[in-house]
Structure 1
Amino acid sequence: MTKQKNEELKKVRKEKNEELKKVRKELKQIITDKDKMLKKVMKEKKEELEKVINDNDKMLEEERCEFEHTYELQEAHSELIRGFRDLSGEGSVIGVKRMGEVDEKPFLKVCEQRFNGENVGLQHAMLCSEWQKNINDSAWYPFKLVVTGEKIKEVVDDEDEKLKKMSEEWGEDVKNAVTTALEELNDFNPSGRYSVPALWNFEHGRKATLSEGIAHMTQQIKNLKRQRT
């Protein structure tokens, strides 16, 4: 009986050992599979991180190049403005225009219609000075927002009381001159209310491109050389 029990016990132990081996084998396989999966995930994440770093480095380099290019263009634009101040004269197609500076011609015209003699020049100077001061005054904000399509744009508000009063008193042409100066300031110097120089195409009434400025400057220099020979 004891012998039989021992045999049964051995058999049970053997079965349990086999089960334990099987469990250990399965556990080892699970750990191996998880390790492989973890390594795969880590490799993928590393590749993703390297790609993000490379893309970021590339973007920073592009931004740096763009900044340098923009800076160089601004420097070239400023240099052309300085050059045109010395070379361009009356009637030049390309030249320097002070954006935000009121056009005095409509003021002179209305003063010539209303005043005589020395009063024309005096009233003209006073009127231009007064409205240039108003234009440069940051406390006066005659603008409104309008929606065009998906864009929001800031434009001069024709219903502004000061503009309406000025139009009634001095006429639409004078009001338009002030409106144009305000629009120029808003476009070319939105952070400040003072006039700034810009390279201007007087023939087409718009800002001149850098290539137009260079071409015109080159022609001006050639003309000067011919005059000296």
Structure 2
Amino acid sequence: MGEKVLETNEILKGSKSTADAGEKGSICEEPKHQKLKLLVAENNLRNSALQMAFEEQKKASDNFLRLFEEQKREKEEALRKILELERNLDEKQKLEMEIEELKGKLEVLKHLGAEDDTGVRQMIDQMKERLEEKDDDLNYLEEFNRQLLLKERESNDELQEARKELIAGFSNLLSSNRVSIGIKRMGELDVKPFKNACKTRFPSDEAEIKAAELCALWQESLKDTEWYPFQIIKDDKGNPKILLKEDDERLRSLKKEWGSEVYEAVTSALTELREYNPSGCYVVPELWSFKENRKATLKEVIFYIFGQLKILKRKRN
């Protein structure tokens, strides 16, 4: 009888131990499950944020594209009117000549002293009427020209504002050195020619430092508003052209001491500053086609951004 009681107790103890172990196992598994749920939620939240960011970028690009198309149409219309005005330039000159001729004839008729003559008075009245018509036509052409110039100026201002917004809004996307369309800092010296020149004169551990110092020194020189190594000459057709002075003392010394590559870097930066910021002489960002080494059009930039956004979306997915 005692042995059976002992067996029963052992069985009960074993069952209790098994139950306790099961409870402990479920307690251990519960935090893992919660952690997994948190990771999934964080991942979903991150994907949602990325999707929202992509949609915002796409919306901004769509707005820029719409703005570009509107401005393109407006500019084409303005150019069409300007061409029309140029075609009418001869007509304007003819009108001016006719007006002067009519004025002369009127003066002659007045000095004939035959104002009592009905025929003469009629001729004078007719000529006055024609003169007024010619004056009206001339005023119309002049006002038309003024409106075209104003519209062209407004269109250019809007285009420049759109370029500034693209530079500010997509600087991260366009700042890589390996892009075909990006942002170039006009007037900023390229340090590579300075490095190449310094490597031929200094040990490798000093060349980098010397190149950086030399580049910074010449970047400061470019800000000197009193230094203007340019001259104005006329080409074969008599049109003025701005060229670098070949006998400028600073540039001659630079070329002699550091070579053609450094000289080209400095003169290139000088030319960019003269074009983009002649009064301030500080670096100006510009949308640039590195592939073709020229200023990028708004259309090129917008389509490039669209392409990059599609690539980013595929990578995230």
Q: TM-score, normalised by structure 2?
A: 0.59
Partner of 2:99: none
Aligned partners of 2:229 and 2:244 also within 8 Å: yes
Partner of 1:99: 186
The 10-residue stretch of structure 1 (143-152 or 167-176) with the greater mean CA deviation from structure 2: 143-152
Aligned partners of 2:114 and 2:120 also within 8 Å: no
C-alpha distance in 2 between matches for 1:72 and 1:61: 16
- What is the alpha-carbon root mean square deviation over aligned residues? 2.2
Partner of 2:294: 206
Q: Does 1:172 align with 2:260?
A: yes
Aligned partners of 2:115 and 2:121 also within 8 Å: no
Partner of 1:73: 159
1:54 to 133, 140, 143: 140
Partner of 1:153: 241
Using the TM superposition, give the Cα deviation of residue 189 of structure 1 relative to its aligned residue in structure 2, in angstroms: 2.5
Using the TM superposition, give the Cα deviation of residue 161 of structure 1 relative to its aligned residue in structure 2, in angstroms: 1.6
Using the TM superposition, give the Cα deviation of residue 32 of structure 1 relative to its aligned residue in structure 2, in angstroms: 2.0
Greater fraction helix? 2
Using the TM superposition, give the Cα deviation of residue 118 of structure 1 relative to its aligned residue in structure 2, in angstroms: 4.7
> Secondary structure at 2:261's aligned position in 1?
helix
Using the TM superposition, give the Cα deviation of residue 127 of structure 1 relative to its aligned residue in structure 2, in angstroms: 0.5
C-alpha distance in 2 between matches for 1:29 and 1:114: 96
C-alpha distance in 1 between matches for 2:182 and 2:236: 35
C-alpha distance in 2 between matches for 1:29 and 1:205: 73
What is the percentage of aligned positions where both structures have the same residue? 38
Partner of 1:82: 168
C-alpha distance in 1 between matches for 2:114 and 2:152: 56
> Secondary structure at 1:87's aligned position in 2?
helix
Unaligned runs of 5+ in 2: 1-112
Partner of 2:315: 227
Deviations 1:27-65 (A, max 9, x none): 999432233122212211211121122222222221222
Partner of 1:45: 131
Summarize the Cα distance change of 1:29–1:46 in structure 2 as closer, same or farther, 3 Å threshold: closer
Partner of 2:215: 128
C-alpha distance in 2 between matches for 1:178 and 1:220: 33
C-alpha distance in 1 between matches for 2:253 and 2:230: 16
> Secondary structure at 2:222's aligned position in 1?
helix
Tell me the amino acid that sits aligned with residue 202 of structure 1: F
